[in-house]
Every structure is written in C-alpha cells, then in structure tokens.
C-alpha cells in the first residue's frame, strides 16, 4: 500500500471530528493509502496542549509533534514555537520510511520549507495546500505601511516564494491564495482552488428551533485582531430600539472579554447581543440554521478570503452581510447575489445594510436560495474535494 504523509500543524486534533480540512483529507485518503498525519500538540485557538492519547483515536496514523507554545498570535514566542515544531518534525521523520507523496499545509512556513526540501532531496511529489498567505496576512496585526517594517518583512516574502517554488501541485482554499503561489520558476503546472467546504449533510437537521419572530444575525469564528466584531457591537447600539434584532457571537479568542465588556457597557449584553463562546460544531450548526443572516466581519486590511465560516454560512443557506475586502469575496457576494457588502470598521454602514437587507423579504429569500445553490456547487466536500483525490491518484500513477 502506498504511503502518504499529510503535514498540517493547525488541525485541532483533540476534536475527534472531520471538520478540519486535513483531518477530512487524511480520513478519506486512509481508505486507499497508508496515511501519516503530522500535527502540533499545541492547539492554536485554545492556546493549550492536547493529550498524547489522541494519537490512537483515528483511522490513520497521527504523530503529535511538540512545540513550545505561545500566548499571542503575533509574537517572538510564536516564531520560536514554530521553529521548535520544525526541528522536532525533522527528528521524527528521520526515523521513518519515506512516503510516496507529501501533502503539506502552508503555513507554517518553517515546516513547509523543511518538508519541501525533504521532498526535493528524496524525489517525492510535494503537494502544497495554501491556507493563508504568510507573511502578507500578518499585515492586519502590524503596521506594514512603515518603510522599516516593509524592509524587515521582505526576507520572509522571499522565503515564502522559495516554498511555493518547490510544489509539484498547488492547491489553495481560494483563488486568491492559489494565485499568490504562482511565482517565477515554480515547478507546479496546476494551481487549483478548492474551498475549505463543509459536510453538507450535517446541515440537514437541527435540534432546536426558535419559537418567536426575532431576527438572528450570527457571527461564528475567532475573536481576534483580524475580525471586526467591535463594529457590529457599535452598530447594534444604534439599533437598540429594534429589540427583535439580535446578534449572536459564537466563538472565542483574545478579544472575547474586551468585546463582551463593551456590549455590557452599552447595556446590550444578553438583551440584543449574546456571546455563546466556542460551541461544538453540531451546536453551532443549530444556531446557524435558526439564524436569518450571517455576519462575515473582517477588518479592512486583513487578507482573509474564503474562510471556514464562509462555507458554513452558505451551507446553512444564510444571506451574508460582508465587509471582507478580498475582491474574490466582494465579487461573489455581488455577482452570485449572496447578500450585501458593507464598509469595514464603519458601524453606520453596517446598520444601514442590516435595515436594507431586512426591508425586502423576497430578496432575503433569494439570497438564501442562492447561498444554498452556491454551497451545493462549491462547498460540499463530498463533491468539491474529489479533484484533490483525483490529482493525488494521477501523481501516484494510478487510474
């Protein structure tokens, strides 16, 4: 049986589900290949370590690679932690038989670079799956308009380009990210966007239904510097006379307490704004299916494109209020009629778009139908991920 290594540091491996892209890919590939998933023992979102026993709970081989951990997403400690991960990964694979193919997440940069070099040295096909565009995406957290900062970041751009060049095949979670990987002298001949997606059948049933005429606008995901939740809170302060319009915030992160305190300060907490924290995926789906509108709140300078939450929103058939400034996302919202775009970090703009989208029930229903159709075409993993598995078979010389 042919052997494939899946290298993906950020898998939240302690959550025994297939929600994570690489857990899903590893699980599907394990039906036909010997799969080894290499991931971190540090859970990025929770900032804590997972139990070693999780290695024995999957249908494929899981290898937890130790890193030192960190408290802040943009910090020297995080850089040290990622270097430690790459060094420990190097020690681990030296003791193992070589695979027939390596399927590698990007980022981390250090481990992706090491895996690419290992693949080149041993003549192993190297497939790169771009989840984020480091170092560019860091611009949401630091002032990249500063000339000195630009100079300091330039070597990391060259480092990223070196990683992209090593790929034999380029996959990415959006067209934007895949195009970033198309660099000069690249080995890759194909650049294929495959949205993160969702397991469509999980959206078929719900455990509870709201029993009133409230309008639920829901955000799911991380509460950090890249996501513009404060604008939503300020917009709801302007909407406080509309007591039937509620904002549900499902997720956790470094800005959780700051945002919750602001909602409390404005007298909105548990009245029109509700913080539910990090919920199990199935419970989150229940909230989405009971919601009327989804909030894709991303800061203006952030470089996110088609995220996990976007896939969940359209899979739930929710019209989207979007402020992500990626041209790919803006065009999808407008051209596919999935909802409305508003101005990032502008609470007045969001307030106006909330009132506008709620004014026309027929148009709201049209947005919902369009989202469902779009999800069926592009976000159902059973369909959309087929191209990944077909390309892997082709690379391995199988029919």
Between CA 254 and CA 47 the distance in angstroms is 10
Prior bond to 107 cis, omega within 30?
yes
Phi and psi at residue 61, in whole multiples of 5°? -80, 125
> Is 101's pLDDT higher than 80?
yes
Closest to 129 (Cα-Cα) out of 19, 281, 26? 26
Query: Residue for token digits 């039937």?
Result: 244
Q: What is the mean pLDDT of residues 77-103?
A: 95
Contacts of 3 (CB under 8 A, 6+ apart): 33, 34, 35, 36, 97, 98, 99, 100
> Is 394's pLDDT higher than 90?
yes
> Is 398's pLDDT higher than 80?
yes
- Domains 3-197+381-395 and 200-378 fall in the same CATH topology: yes
> Is 364's pLDDT higher than 70?
yes
Is domain 3-197+381-395 classified as CATH 3.40.50.300? no
Pick the CATH number of 200-378 from 3.40.50.2000, 3.60.110.10, 3.50.30.30, 3.40.50.970: 3.40.50.2000
Between CA 30 and CA 332 the distance in angstroms is 34
For residue 3, what are its two tokens?
């052997």
- Sequence ranges of the domains in the chain: 3-197+381-395, 200-378
Closest to 173 (Cα-Cα) out of 195, 189, 147, 156? 195
Query: Which pLDDT tens digit goes with each residue over 228-256?
Result: 999 999 999 999 999 999 999 999 988 99
Per the prediction, the chain carries an average pLDDT of 92
98-102, 131-135, 228-232, 356-360: least confident range: 131-135
> Is 195's pLDDT higher than 80?
yes
Closest to 3 (Cα-Cα) out of 61, 55, 56? 61
Rounded-to-10 torsion of CA 342, 310, 386, 203:
-130
For residue 22, what are its two tokens?
């690489």
- Please tell me the predicted confidence (pLDDT) of residue 34: 98
Judging by DSSP bridges, how do beta strands 191-193 and 169-172 pair with one another?
A: parallel
> 140 or 206: which carries more pLDDT confidence?
206
Closest to 119 (Cα-Cα) out of 93, 95, 101, 105? 101
Contacts of 58 (CB under 8 A, 6+ apart): 16, 23, 26, 27, 37
């Amino acid at each position: 049986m042919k052997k494939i290594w899946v290298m993906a540091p950020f898998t939240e491996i302690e959550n025994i589900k297939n929600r994570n892209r690489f857990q899903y890919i590893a699980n599907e590939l394990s039906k036909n290949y010997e799969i080894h998933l290499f991931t971190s023992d540090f859970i990025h979102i929770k900032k804590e370590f997972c139990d070693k026993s999780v290695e024995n709970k999957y249908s494929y081989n899981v290898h937890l690679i130790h890193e030192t951990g960190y408290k802040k997403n943009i910090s020297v400690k995080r850089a040290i932690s990622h270097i430690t991960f790459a060094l420990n990964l190097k020690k681990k694979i030296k003791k193992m038989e070589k695979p027939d193919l390596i399927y590698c997440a990007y980022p981390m940069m250090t481990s992706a670079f090491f895996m690419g070099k290992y693949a080149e040295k041993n003549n192993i096909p190297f497939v790169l799956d771009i989840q984020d565009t480091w170092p560019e995406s860091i611009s949401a957290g630091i002032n990249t308009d500063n000339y000195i900062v630009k100079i300091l970041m330039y070597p990391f751009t060259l480092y990223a380009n070196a990683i992209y060049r090593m790929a034999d095949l380029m996959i990415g979670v959006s067209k934007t990210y895949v195009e970033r990987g198309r660099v000069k002298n690249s080995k890759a001949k194909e650049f294929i966007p495959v949205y993160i997606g969702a397991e469509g059948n999980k959206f078929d049933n719900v455990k509870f239904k709201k029993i009133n005429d409230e309008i639920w606008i829901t955000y799911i995901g991380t509460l950090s510097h890249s996501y513009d939740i404060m604008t939503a809170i300020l917009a709801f302060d302007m909407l406080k006379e509309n007591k039937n319009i509620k904002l549900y915030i499902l997720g956790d992160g470094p800005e959780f307490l700051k945002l919750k305190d602001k909602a409390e300060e404005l007298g909105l907490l548990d009245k029109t704004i509700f913080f539910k924290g990090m919920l199990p995926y199935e419970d989150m789906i229940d909230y989405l299916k009971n919601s009327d509108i989804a909030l894709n709140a991303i800061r203006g300078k952030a470089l996110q494109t088609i995220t996990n939450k976007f896939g969940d929103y359209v899979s739930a058939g929710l019209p989207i209020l979007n402020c992500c400034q990626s041209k790919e996302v803006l065009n999808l919202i407008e051209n596919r009629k999935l909802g409305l775009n508003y101005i990032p970090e502008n609470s007045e703009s969001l307030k106006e778009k909330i009132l506008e989208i709620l004014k026309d029930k027929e148009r709201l229903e049209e947005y919902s139908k369009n989202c469902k159709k779009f999800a069926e075409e592009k976000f159902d993993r059973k369909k959309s991920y087929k191209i990944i598995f077909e390309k892997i078979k082709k690379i391995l010389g199988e029919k």
